[in-house]
């Protein structure tokens, strides 16, 4: 029982800590911009359901911690629910009541009666806060650790693999893929993972001469120590840089910020490329994670961070840096998901506001109502799909057996 409890805490606690931190920053983005525009706010909640902790400040805002720690929200005055979904009849009644009680113009303190550009900025501030958080964390990470560039040199080739068929040889130094220069092993791995069944033209340096090789990566089932059981694209290359291939440099804060921005842009680009391949039917979506998958990953990186034999101070530092990296990745993911053009999510609100700005009138009430219902269905379907992926990747019965 102790082993089961310990393993469970190892997965759940890091997940909840990281998720709560990132959700808080996301909601603070909405909150601070709304406050800057003078919007009346009823509640700032981390978590859903009945309040575990609650306090009302001098401005009448309730600061709450809910007992279900899987999200959060800012409730603006006049909102009919926690998602700020408008109901036209309810808004008309609200406006009439506010004007009757406080006089004409008082309604301008309410979110839904603000100019469309202010509403758009308030909604966009949540995902923007996630990207800013990721940039800050990555900048801190690169400032402390620096940058290591490991040139992608081939160490071994799996027999009967796509790489073997393409003619790769040990010690080949990969210089470019499809004409785009690559400088680090991570770039090669990321390109292969996002290119299942797509021919890739590798330019390698062999005995000082350039050689072009065409390889088509294939998907295969793997047991990843962090992600679990996943179908992933592989070419059959093992990369291991020689000492002369590895460069390390310290970064000043400006350089670290630039490297952090590059990493964030690369991560966002890779994510959208993967989503595009899903819609094009080139990927199954196996790499999409729900809460279980994120919890598994959080536990996995925590175990890795504390698995080395080192003094406690070094282990704590390693754990902290690993947590920073994981939080940055999850924050980027949360920003991307919230920008998807699905009604109920921030991206869906922005689509409606974009229409309103161009057409000079709100989206018809009936269209909004249908859109939000469809959005809820899409969001529920996405969560179910991601959770099913999590269960498949976890190999649940094996996982539970390992915890016992």
Q: Does residue 401 have a pLDDT over 50? A: no
Which range has the worst mean pLDDT, 128-142, 159-173, 265-279?
Answer: 265-279
CA terminus-to-terminus distance, the chain: 7
**Long-range contacts from 391-397, C-beta under 8 angstroms, 24+ separation:** 391/292, 392/229, 392/286, 393/227, 393/228, 393/229, 393/230, 393/286, 393/293, 393/296, 394/228, 394/229, 394/292, 394/293, 394/296, 395/228, 395/229
* Span 120-136, average pLDDT: 96
Q: Model's pTM, two decimal places?
A: 0.80
pLDDT score at 395? 46
* Span 313-329, average pLDDT: 77
pLDDT score at 387? 60
CA dist., res. 170 & res. 172, Å (int)? 6
187 catalytic, yes or no? no
Which range has the worst mean pLDDT, 36-40, 295-299, 303-307, 391-395?
Answer: 391-395
* Span 283-291, average pLDDT: 65
pLDDT score at 248? 83
Q: Does residue 289 have a pLDDT over 80? A: no
CA dist., res. 155 & res. 188, Å (int)? 14
**Sign (positive/negative) of CA torsion 98, 99, 104, 107?**
positive
Residue 216 CB partners (closer than 8 Å, separation 6+):
162, 197, 198, 199, 200
Q: Does residue 196 have a pLDDT over 80? A: yes
Closest to 84 measured CA to CA, from 130, 155, 34? 34
Pick 368 or 64 by higher pLDDT.
64
Give 400's pLDDT tier (boundaries 50, 70, 90).
very low
CA dist., res. 137 & res. 196, Å (int)? 31
Which range has the worst mean pLDDT, 56-70, 188-202, 294-308?
Answer: 294-308
Closest to 85 measured CA to CA, from 327, 392, 299, 375? 375
- The string of pLDDT tens digits covering residues 223-255 is 766 556 677 889 999 888 777 778 888 889 999
Percent of the chain's residues with pLDDT above 90: 36
Q: Per DSSP, what are the bridge partners of residue 153?
A: 173
CA dist., res. 266 & res. 186, Å (int)? 11
Give 205's pLDDT tier (boundaries 50, 70, 90).
very high
pLDDT score at 396? 39
Percent of the chain's residues with pLDDT above 70: 79
CA distances to 12, 54, 69, 70 from 50, rounded to whole Å, are 21, 10, 11, 13
CB 215 within 8 A of CB 166: yes
CA atoms within 13 A on the CB side of 273: 13
pLDDT score at 315? 67
Give 294's pLDDT tier (boundaries 50, 70, 90).
low
Q: Does residue 5 have a pLDDT over 60? A: no
pLDDT score at 398? 38
Give 403's pLDDT tier (boundaries 50, 70, 90).
very low
Residue 244 — left, alpha, or beta (φ > 0 → left; ψ -120 to 50 → alpha)? Answer: alpha
> How many Cβ atoms from other residues are within 10 Å of residue 131's Cβ?
20
pLDDT score at 392? 55
pLDDT score at 56? 94
Q: Per DSSP, what are the bridge partners of residue 202?
A: 177, 213
Q: Does residue 339 have a pLDDT over 70? A: yes
* Span 382-399, average pLDDT: 54
CA distances to 140, 266, 284, 326 from 330, rounded to whole Å, are 16, 14, 21, 6
Which range has the worst mean pLDDT, 15-24, 70-79, 347-356, 381-390?
Answer: 381-390
- The string of pLDDT tens digits covering residues 56-101 is 999 899 999 998 887 889 998 877 655 555 556 666 777 777 777 7
Which range has the worst mean pLDDT, 115-129, 206-220, 291-305?
Answer: 291-305
Which range has the worst mean pLDDT, 6-10, 68-72, 104-108, 310-314?
Answer: 6-10
* Span 268-291, average pLDDT: 76
pLDDT score at 254? 93
């Amino acid at each position: 029982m102790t082993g089961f409890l310990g393993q469970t805490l190892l997965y759940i606690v890091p997940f909840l800590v990281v998720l709560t931190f990132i959700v808080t920053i996301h909601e603070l983005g909405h909150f601070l911009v709304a406050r800057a525009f003078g919007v009346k706010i009823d509640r700032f909640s981390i978590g859903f359901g009945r309040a575990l902790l609650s306090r009302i400040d001098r401005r009448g805002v309730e600061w709450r911690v809910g007992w279900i720690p899987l999200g959060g929200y800012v409730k603006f005055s006049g909102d009919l629910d926690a998602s700020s979904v408008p109901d036209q009849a309810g808004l008309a009644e609200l406006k009439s009541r506010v004007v009757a009680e406080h006089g004409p113009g008082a309604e301008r303190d309410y979110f839904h009666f603000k100019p469309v550009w202010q509403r758009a900025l308030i909604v966009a501030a949540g995902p923007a806060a996630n990207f800013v958080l990721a940039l800050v964390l990555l900048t801190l990470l690169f400032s402390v650790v620096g940058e290591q560039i490991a040139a992608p040199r081939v160490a071994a080739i799996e027999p009967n693999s796509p790489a073997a068929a393409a003619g790769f040889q040990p010690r080949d130094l990969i210089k470019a893929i499809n004409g785009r220069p690559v400088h680090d092993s991570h770039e090669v791995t990321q390109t292969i993972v996002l290119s299942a069944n797509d021919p890739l033209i590798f330019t390698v340096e062999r005995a000082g001469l350039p050689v072009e090789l065409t390889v088509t990566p294939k998907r295969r089932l793997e047991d990843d120590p962090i992600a679990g059981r996943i179908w992933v694209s592989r070419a059959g290359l093992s990369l291991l840089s020689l000492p002369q291939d590895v460069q390390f440099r310290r970064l000043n804060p400006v350089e670290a910020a630039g490297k952090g921005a590059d990493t964030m842009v690369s991560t966002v680009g890779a994510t959208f490329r993967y989503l595009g391949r899903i819609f094009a039917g080139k990927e199954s979506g196996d790499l999409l994670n729900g809460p279980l998958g994120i919890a598994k990953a959080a536990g996995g990186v925590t175990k890795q961070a504390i698995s080395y034999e080192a003094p406690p101070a070094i282990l704590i530092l390693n754990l902290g840096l690993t947590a920073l990296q994981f939080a940055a990745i999850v924050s980027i993911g949360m920003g991307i998901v919230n920008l998807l053009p699905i009604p109920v999510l921030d991206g869906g609100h922005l689509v409606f506001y974009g229409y309103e700005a161009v057409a000079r009138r709100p989206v018809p009430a009936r269209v909004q109502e249908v859109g939000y219902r469809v959005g809820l269905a899409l969001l529920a379907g996405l969560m179910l799909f991601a959770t099913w992926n999590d269960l498949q990747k976890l190999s649940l019965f094996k996982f539970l057996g390992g915890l016992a």
